[in-house]
Amino acid sequence: MRLRPALASALMTPAARGSRAFSWLPAAALLLGVAGVLLPVMSCRAADAPVCRSAAGRAATDAGDDPISADTPGSDGTRLFARGKSVRIDVTTRATRDDKVQWQITDTWSRPQASGNFTVAAGPRVTSLTCTLPLAGYFAFSASLASQPSTGLPQRGTRPAGITTFGVLPDVSAALPAPTFARQDLHRFGGQGSAYIAPGQHCCGGDGLRPLYTDLGLAWANDKRGWYVMEPKGPNTFDAAGSQLELQFKPGDIMRLITLDGFPGWASPNGQETHSYVPSSLAQLRDYMSRVGTESARIRARVFPRQAHNYYQVTWEPDKDGGLPWKDTDAHFVDLYKTVHEGIHSTDPSAIVMGPTYAGVQENTEWLKKFAPLGIAKYLDGVTIHGYYDFGTSPSHPPERLYGAPEKGTLSLPEAMRGLRATMRDVLKPGAPLFVTETGISYDIGTNYAPDYPDAQTLYAQGAVVARAHLILLGEGADTTFIFYGADMPETTPGYGVFFELEHPKGMYGASNISPKPAALAVATMTRLIDGTYTLGPLRGTPAGVYAYAFARPGGGKVITALWSHDNARWSAKAGFDATRAANYTLQVDARGRAGQVSVFDMMGNPTIMTYNDGMLPLRLTESPVYVVSDNAEVARSNAVTPAGYVAPKP
């Protein structure tokens, strides 16, 4: 599905699976801050440091037996909080005698943000800390009893021992007003994975998308209309006029990617439910798809009136060595697309029918080329792919790892996307949309959830790589990209979730109890800055190891440039994920001869005002993406390379 486990595991050495050298600087040292500006580590004495106050303890009423535990009640279930609001941290202790709690809050980069202590009475007690945090981002709270310093907070589900986590959502409005959308389907971010976390909900009834998707800034989700889902028992049982829309789509703010893969056993040539063979009767399939088109057109008119098209994905990872392999002939694959396209368009004329959705970017390019002589382009209004790019997409296998090494046979993500865009230009009509409907970053191959894993460095690295992967996809010409996955779920390789799942040691689908990883806040920052833009493309002439992509608001509005640097030698589980290595780069943000100021946001959405001279802004770029918000769109456009065949959507 997302990697080939046996081969990928073989590629990972015992050293890579074991040693995880930590590259953080000591707490007292200076650390790289926003855009590489040297900032002192914040302490409780800093004027802009978090302020935490403890209330008198009260008797605990829960039935737990851990010596110490902690949680952050009061959020919407995501354990994400609005910036500027206080965060309450409840610390539950079961001390055998009067004792003292030592606690600390650290950020994504493991920098201490606040610390302190308070006394507790013997027995089950709850002490609340109320903290005001001036910065946005991911935060890990740790605590222990003075009498048991080696016993910290317990492991919860996939979250390791020693921490409880929460996030403060970014607010970028001072530098970048909220975008306006000429039509709803110009939103650029979607997701996979549900979480039933609102009060009174449980898996799997109710709304599994809110508040998870709305907090993260995700505006698309999958809605299954596969034939095997809607008519599992026999033909003509799906009523296009009936009420089939799930509760989570009814508010109309999260749009549907309508998935059509899979055929029921009664319609299959071998009598078994299948994704691998064309159905026995293409006429019946065409009829079913016409009913799906009828239903979808009606739903769009009523629920999504500002959405210009419905978007349909025909197949799902038909890779020959994947979980849903296509085993029929190439000609029948094209017949499938012809039948679906004709059926959908007969009742939904403005539909966008897309595929082929192979797992890897390169594979999509190869199969589009292979199917093109058979005429598949006539039945593709757009392209859907999954955005995997390596033998395992993980902190140690970031999207830039293989850049400039085509002899290895696997292209880096930027190079693979350029090949795909060139093929789309040559095969499909101009402006055909490209949706990347799944891309996830797991932990490293061969690892497992444990009390001491993932460590803080792995969590930081995952967050950085999640943001970089999706920025590359959009910057190289994807219209929309989907984040995979909401919260950790059972998989061969662990950790795909951007949230921990707190009730099952290996994760679970349809989570009901979650807490954020750094990746969640990296996503929330990226969506707030990049949604509402169109792609200008990668910047010309960047030095080796520097990556920069420009995006623009329509109508000559703001420009957002995402930048970072990468060095393979200092970025792996074996070598350590070095958060401090930096590369110098000067970004042109205005015409030469001009001076002014721009806002530069870090990966967590915290701004710094920086001054440029002669149109040039000096930066020190680390492995953590930063975002420069500037005003001169013409300068940015002249310095960017438009992805092959990419057409900016019309306002």
Query: What separation, in Å, do the N-terminal and C-terminal C-alpha atoms of the chain show?
Result: 36
Residue 202 is predicted with a pLDDT of 80
**91: CB partners within 8 A, 6+ apart:** 68, 69, 70, 101, 103, 126, 127, 128, 129, 143
* pLDDT per position as a tens digit, 53-69: 988 889 988 778 999 99
Total number of domains constituting the chain = 2
The mean pLDDT of 613-632, rounded to a whole number, is: 98
Q: Are residues 320 and 382 in the same domain?
A: yes
In three-state secondary structure terms, 308 is coil
216 and 316 together in one domain: yes
333 lies in the same domain as 196: yes
What does pTM read for this prediction? Answer: 0.93
In this prediction, residue 22 carries a pLDDT of: 29
> CB within 8 A of 34, min separation 6: which ones?
600, 601, 602, 606, 607, 608, 626
Distance separating alpha carbons of residues 142 and 160, to the nearest angstrom? 11
Same domain, 368 and 461: yes
Average pLDDT for 280-289: 98
The average confidence (pLDDT) of the chain is 92
In a domain? residue 542: no
Asked if residue 429 and residue 357 are part of one domain, the reply reads: yes
Query: Which one has a higher pLDDT value, 21 or 411?
Result: 411
One domain, residues 494 and 426? yes
Q: Does pLDDT of 331 surpass 90? A: yes
Residue 441 sits in the same domain as residue 528: yes
Backbone angles phi, psi at 245, to 5 degrees: -75, 130
Residues 6+ apart with CB under 8 A from 379: 334, 337, 338, 340, 341, 342, 353
CB 361 within 8 A of CB 388: yes
Q: Is residue 285 part of a domain?
A: yes
Q: What is the CATH number of the domain that holds 210?
A: 3.20.20.80
Confidence of residue 650 (pLDDT cuts 50, 70, 90): confident
Domain boundary among 493, 511, 537: 537
Q: What is the pLDDT of residue 50?
A: 81
Q: Is residue 626 part of a domain?
A: no
The pLDDT score that the predictor gives to residue 408 is 80
Residue range 361-378: average pLDDT?
A: 98
pLDDT at 197 over 90: yes
Residue 229 forms part of a structural domain:
no
Confidence of residue 110 (pLDDT cuts 50, 70, 90): very high
Q: Is residue 25 part of a domain?
A: no
- Whether residue 297 sits in one domain with residue 420: yes
* E strand segments, 239-296: 255-259
d(CA 300, CA 95): 58
For the segment 602-630, the average pLDDT, to the nearest whole number, is: 98
Residue 365 host element (H or E): helix 361-371
The domain boundary residue, chosen from 537, 569, 589? 537
pLDDT at 49: 74
What lies within 8 Å, CB to CB, of 501 at 6+ separation is 157, 158, 487, 488, 489, 507, 508, 511, 513, 514
- For the chain, what percent of residues have pLDDT higher than 70? 92
Q: What ranges in 62-216 are assigned the alpha helix state H?
A: 212-216
| Average pLDDT rounded to a whole number, residues 540-561 | 96
- Position 134 pLDDT exceeds 50: yes
Q: Give one DSSP letter per residue of 450-482, joined into a string.
A: BTTBS-HHHHHHHHHHHHHHHHHHHHTT-SEEE
Is residue 246 in some structural domain? yes
User: Is pLDDT above 80 for 560?
Assistant: yes
Residues 154 and 191 in one domain: no
What is the model's pLDDT at position 7?
29
CATH (domain of 89)? 2.60.40.1930
Q: Do 162 and 255 fall into the same domain?
A: no
- Domain boundary pick from 537, 567, 600: 537
pLDDT in tens, 149-187: 989 999 999 999 999 999 999 999 999 999 999 999 999
Residue 10 scores a pLDDT above 80:
no
Least confident window among 9-23, 195-209, 425-439: 9-23
Give the residue-averaged pLDDT of 538-564. 96
Expressed as residue numbers, the domain containing 51 is 42-168
| Percent of residues, the chain, with pLDDT higher than 90 | 86
Position 569 in a domain: no
Task: In whole angstroms, give the CA distance from residue 154 to residue 131.
Answer: 22
285 and 384 inside one domain:
yes
What confidence score (pLDDT) does residue 16 get? 33
Q: Flag whether pLDDT at 555 surpasses 90.
A: no
Reported as a pLDDT band with limits 50, 70 and 90, residue 556 is confident
Check whether residue 392 and residue 243 sit in a common domain.
Answer: yes
Give the chain's radius of gyration (CA, Å).
25
pLDDT tens digits, one per residue of 386-415: 999 998 999 999 999 999 988 788 999 999
**Of residues 244 and 263, more confidently modeled:** 263
For residue 649, being part of any structural domain is answered with no
Element (H, E) at 289: helix 282-303
pLDDT at 492 over 90: no
pLDDT, residue 407, reads 76
Give rounded-to-5 percent helix, strand, coil for the chain: 25, 30, 50
